[in-house]
Amino acid sequence: MINKPYLTMKHVIPEIIALVLAVLNLVFVIIFINVTHTDLLAEIQSEGYDSFGSLAALLVMAIIFILGTLTGIAANHFMPSGLYRLPFRVNPEKYNEVMYFVTLGTAVNLLEISMWVCFFSVIWALGVGPLQVPSVILLLVIAIPTSLIFTALAYRHNK
């Protein structure tokens, strides 16, 4: 593992919760597949008839989400810090303080996305269609400011 003294339990806790939520989403999908024995409505065609897809697609998406969450966690812990793109030049004397906020922002964003995926899966499985678009907007309203706030904190501690 790459030596990163700025990684703390404040990083590990959101990452663990994000991974648990990703696995919980997989469990939810498995339960949903076992309860639902019909095909999924995949899309409504322009000609007016519906197109149906396999329930296994949900399982594949849940597994890909777990792999994506693991990739985000691995990036925080194993990726060289120089690969993070920041809108400012990092002061070498304040490097650990700046990277603390950058990596913490990544961990919190992983947590937010995992929470949203679980919420969206429940909305989708219950067939509450009108809530799908607002839930996407809610994710953007929460995740984008979080990224900006942690970047601003990193910039402030860079001085």
Q: What is the pLDDT along the chain (159 residues), one digit of tens a residue?
A: 567 888 888 888 999 999 999 999 899 888 887 877 666 555 555 565 555 566 777 788 889 999 999 998 998 888 887 778 888 898 899 988 999 998 999 899 989 998 888 887 777 777 666 777 788 888 889 889 999 999 999 999 998
Domain assignment present for residue 107? The answer is yes
Domain assignment present for residue 120? The answer is yes
In which domain, by residue range, is 108 found? 9-158
Domain assignment present for residue 1? The answer is no
What lies within 8 Å, CB to CB, of 141 at 6+ separation is none
Structure tokens, 83? 């690969």
Verdict on whether the full-model pTM lies above 0.75:
yes
Domain assignment present for residue 77? The answer is yes
Domain assignment present for residue 28? The answer is yes
Domain assignment present for residue 2? The answer is no
Domain count, the chain: 1
Domain assignment present for residue 4? The answer is no
Reduced to 3 states (helix: H, G, I; strand: E, B; else coil), residue 17 is helix
Domain assignment present for residue 26? The answer is yes
What lies within 8 Å, CB to CB, of 116 at 6+ separation is 135, 138, 139, 142, 143
